Amino acid sequence: SSGINAEWPLRPGADPSLMQTFYDLAEDEEACITGTTTLVEKLKTTASDSIVYSWKRLVKGTSSNRKNARRGFAIALTEVLTEFPDIDSEEVYNFCRSINLPTGHVSQKEIRDLYAGFIFCVSALHRSGRLKNTDLQYRVLKDLLPILFKKKLTIKDVVFKVFIDILTEIETKDLKNVIEIISDDLKEGWTLCTLERLAIMSYLEMRDASVVSKLLKKNWNYSHLNHPQNYEKIATVLKAVACEDFMKPQLAVYLDSWVMSKSFSIKKANKHFFKVLDSGENKNTVVFMLTHLVSSLSDDKIESFVNKNMMTFLLKPYVSSSESIQLLIDSVCKRIADIKCGEKKLSFAKTCLSLLPQRAWCMHKILDALFNTVKKEEVEQFTSLLESSFITPGEDRTGKVISEFRNDCLSWICQILRLSDAKIVFDFTKFLFIYSFFSVKGECTSTPLIKIPTPEISKVTTDFCKTKFNSCLKLLSASQSQDKSTTRKGLAEDGRYWVYHLLSSSLSLVTNDKCPMITDITEHEEWQTLWSVIDEVEAKTPESRSDEDWVFELLFLHAGLLFFEEQEQAKMILNDVNLCYEKHKNGSNENWKSVFVDLLISILSYESLMLRNIACGCFRLVCADLDEESIQLIMDAIESSDKSQDDDASDEGESSEDESDEEEGKENDGKQNKDEEMSEGDEAECSEDDDEDSSEDEEEESMDEDTDGVAAEEKSGDEIMGDDIEEEDINLSDADEEELKSEDKALGAAMKGLLDMKKQKKEEKRGKALKKVKMVHFKIKLLDLIEILVESVGFTKTTMNILPGLLNIVASPSVASGPVYNRVLGIFKSMFSMKPEKLTVNFSEALKNDVPAIQTFITKTSNKKAQQLAVQSLFMLCKVHLNNPQPSKKKRKSINGKEIKKDDEVYSVFKVLLQDFITNKNTKLDKNIFFQMIERLPVLRPNFTSDLTKYTDEDISLFAKMQSVNLLNRILSFGDELVLKSHSDILGAMGRLLTKLLNNENPSPHHIREVIKMCHKVQSAAKKNNVKISSIPEDLTTALEQVPFKSSISLKFPDIANLAKKVLIHDN
């Protein structure tokens, strides 16, 4: 092409595969990397002329715009220059200049490609380390300057990056050489100043101010470029910049250098520098400057930079642009994550929240970024910041937006509170308590938490406050006590419940005029009685209180909190609690634990999250000491609710059948007149009413009269609307006016009756659905107690007692899926993942009292999931027994003087299941269950082998015998030596079974094949484990010898005959 004054190198004739590597460099990234590696490896074994040709071809390829050639050839050139140090850098650079610096008439497109090639070649020389500490670097810089200062060049960003990269490697003492090179281009000072010149001078000043001070003082007015007096001129330069992508690196370098210079002053910059840009024309420039400075300023300077005047000015040009605000918010969020000091981070976030545009998503992103970086020691400050945001969310926020933002503030605090201690949780719980149940009308000096929310808190937010209050109350009740001598939870430092302090604080609030309650409670007599009981319990010292005192105090305290939300429920619960407490206090012989559990169940029947927390919190305190009778009350409540739900489901099924019958009838009569359908529906309604009210005489008579009247009127209506009536009968002019009114009245009554009937059915259906939902909620709350019980006591006798009830819930058709089903599965999951110290069940007692019920359940249920859970629980029981140490000889059990081994005890758990699987034709069990037993419990394999071998000789179905063979086959696949010791019994049983199969009139080839394969597997496993088989039993030998002579088998299935021969040969 014109303007290129150099000869192109000739293509060498050797090694055509070398050419392919050059083609690969222009492809995708993977091919480029492969081609570069291949090229370097080939050049290491080729002549020097190929190396020269290669680097010249690579230099040439950097100016090509074909696919990814420019990038690929530059990468390869960097690697070649790195691997072959004998290549002369001067020669490479001279060749690069000769082909890539245009001369003569060249089009703009060619100029761009050539300059790009030159820059990529220079970058390759720089990255390969060929320019460092050489005179060539100064020459390169001098050649880059004209390209950099060209006005219409869209690759300026690449040129500038390479220029700064080379400058970075030059040592500070050698910067004077750079000044000599660039002084001619910078001597015009502010007259011809561009962003590139400004950035270069600012960078050099940052590196060594003394090197450029003389040049600056002579041509740039002051010895410091970033002198405050120069801010206006600098701003003028920036004002002329269109902040496109190819200008951002220059602007970034200038800003970084400016911030790091000694003359940098935020206050003076705010006063002089930014005001010049206040035009709105340079919106993109201002946005980039702001986002870059926010990201690059040090922790000490960032907060002073983000001040009210600065932000107010900088935001003006683009507050209406969501895209610009998005860039700003992203940089702020990134900066928040980078600030290490917690105080500075929170202070910076607080400043941004107060100054940035008051938009919901802006606040959300900043708080979310802060939330993701908060550490444990910063939780209190973060909580305080969000509480302030909750009280005063911003002037521009109204209605729904305010409620959503406030709700999010509360959610963030609740999530972060899990990292904090109980004191911070208590303070926030008190905050929620105030804004849930009190209307703040004025400031209160005695309670700092009380501040007037602006604007007022909506009902939606108040309800959300109550929800979060209950969540925090639950978290507070489960907090560990700082007193290590007690295991009680929810206690403050002084040994009292946190809930007691919370409720005590309400005494000063209920009489505060500036903070009136949403619902007044002081007029209730129960409120006063409540405090008399609490004071009575608090009068005792912590050491003198019984466990019951602690539990009842917690109940009374929670009931007191309930007064602020549901007074009527609180009254009823307080009366029940008080009766139970009086029985306990007076020493009643009645089992107070059962009464207490019954009380908790009645509390759970109410629809209230606070009551749910009350019951769970109190139950957690006593669950470890409950007896079987008390626990059975919970299981009975679950079973009764389950039965009632099944009854409702059956009723619903009947009603749905009735509805479907009615719909079917309507479809059959769809072609009839609508008025006929109306009258028929009315008659049906009347007849139904007659049947329902037949028990009451007076109502029956009145209903009969109404029914007769309506039926008569409908009948006359049918006669009028009938299809068989002649035209002369339909003449309304002959009808009496009174008669027409009577007919209208009858039709109106019929229509009203039909509408009433539909409305009643709809209400009944809705009532049943609501009842069903309430029953599900009640059952879930009862399961909460069971979950607490399991977590508290571990895998013990108590857990074994409730297992059948939980399994019945899973197997129940009414809970085949949904929340109840998932909750029970969660209980089982936590049970199966318990730590070893929690597994304390007594195997012998469980085997005698609990295992039979579980075995019966497994054999009877058709629900595979419930069946699997039951088997898992038995695995858990056996695991506990097997892991326990062997008792002393004196304590070991024996039968008829023989010692019972552990494996025999464990096998007794599963023996009943195996018997049902093999002998019961209608068994519910699956062989996969036994595969699990064989795999997970190796000690039981000999026991299984013994019984399965016996089953093949018993008088059972052929299918059952083949199932035994399948299980034996699975056992042998593990190659257990203890199993192989009984090889003679197995082979003998197989021989007898094979003989029976062959004696059948129509022997099954599949069964025969499986039995012979079983024999061969015994031989193979024995050989692999070095177990010697003396000889094959005679029965098996005889049967195997008959197989080849069974023409119906040997001809059609020659593989069976060959397999039989293998077994016989193996013996020989």
Q: Where are the alpha helices (DSSP H) in 7-88?
A: 16-24, 29-43, 48-61, 69-83
| pLDDT at position 8 | 39
- pLDDT over 80 (residue 503): yes
Omega before 455 cis (within 30°)?
Answer: yes
Cα 875 to Cα 1056: distance, rounded to the nearest angstrom: 39
| pLDDT at position 720 | 37
What one-letter code names the amino acid at 956? I
Instruction: Read off the pLDDT of residues 936-976 as tens digits, 9 standing for 90 and up.
Output: 999 999 999 999 999 988 888 889 999 999 999 999 988 88
Cα 519 to Cα 540: distance, rounded to the nearest angstrom: 32
| pLDDT at position 537 | 84
| pLDDT at position 816 | 67
Cα 239 to Cα 286: distance, rounded to the nearest angstrom: 9
Burial 524-559 (b: 16+ CB within 10 A, else e): bebbeebeebbeebbeeebeeeeebbbbbbbbbbbb
- pLDDT over 90 (residue 615): no
For helices 248-260 and 283-296, the axis angle rounded to 10 degrees is 50
Cα 366 to Cα 299: distance, rounded to the nearest angstrom: 17
DSSP class of residue 446?
T
Q: What is the DSSP string of 591-624?
A: -HHHHHHHHHHHHHTS--HHHHHHHHHHHHHHGG
Dig out the tokens for 95 from the structure: 């060749």
| pLDDT at position 676 | 43
pLDDT class of 441 with cuts at 50, 70, 90: low
- pLDDT over 80 (residue 58): yes
From the CB of residue 927, how many other CB atoms can be counted at a distance below 10 Å? 12
Instruction: Read off the pLDDT of residues 272-306 as tens digits, 9 standing for 90 and up.
Output: 555 555 555 566 677 777 777 777 777 777 766 66
Please give the average per-residue pLDDT across 745-773, as a whole number. 83
| pLDDT at position 764 | 84
Burial 43-62 (b: 16+ CB within 10 A, else e): beeeeeeebbbbbbbbbbbb
Displacement of CA 60 from its chain's centroid (Å)? 54
Cα 657 to Cα 663: distance, rounded to the nearest angstrom: 10
- pLDDT over 60 (residue 494): yes
pLDDT class of 934 with cuts at 50, 70, 90: very high
Query: What residues contact 298, with CB distance under 8 A and at least 6 apart?
Result: 259
Q: Please tell me which residue, 681 or 600, carries the higher pLDDT value.
A: 600
pLDDT class of 897 with cuts at 50, 70, 90: very low
- Residue 740: which H helix or E strand, with range? helix 737-793
Residue 78 contacts residue 100 (beta carbons within 8 Å) = no
What mean pLDDT, rounded, does the chain reach? 77
Q: What are residue 894's phi and psi, to 5 degrees? A: -145, 155
- pLDDT over 80 (residue 930): yes
Instruction: Read off the pLDDT of residues 818-875 as tens digits, 9 standing for 90 and up.
Output: 888 888 989 998 888 888 888 888 888 998 999 999 999 999 999 999 999 999 999 9
DSSP class of residue 651?
H
Q: Give the residue among 995, 871, 886 at the shortest CA–CA distance from 937.
A: 871
Q: What is the DSSP string of 770-794?
A: HHHHHHHHHHHHHHHHHHHHHHHH-
pLDDT class of 896 with cuts at 50, 70, 90: very low
Instruction: Read off the pLDDT of residues 767-806 as tens digits, 9 standing for 90 and up.
Output: 888 888 888 888 888 999 999 999 888 888 888 999 999 9
Q: Please tell me which residue, 568 or 153, carries the higher pLDDT value.
A: 568
| pLDDT at position 303 | 63
- What is the share, in percent, of the chain residues with pLDDT greater than 70? 78
Instruction: Read off the pLDDT of residues 314-352 as tens digits, 9 standing for 90 and up.
Output: 555 444 456 667 777 777 777 777 777 777 777 777 777
Q: Of 108-122, 323-337, 654-668, which gets the smallest average pLDDT?
A: 654-668
| pLDDT at position 49 | 79
Please give the average per-residue pLDDT across 515-541, as a whole number. 75
Instruction: Read off the pLDDT of residues 969-1020 as tens digits, 9 standing for 90 and up.
Output: 999 988 888 888 888 899 999 999 988 888 888 888 888 889 999 898 998 8
**Which residues, listed in sequence order, are joined to residue 895 by a DSSP beta bridge?**
898
- pLDDT over 80 (residue 523): no
| pLDDT at position 393 | 75
Q: What is the CA radius of gyration of the chain?
A: 45
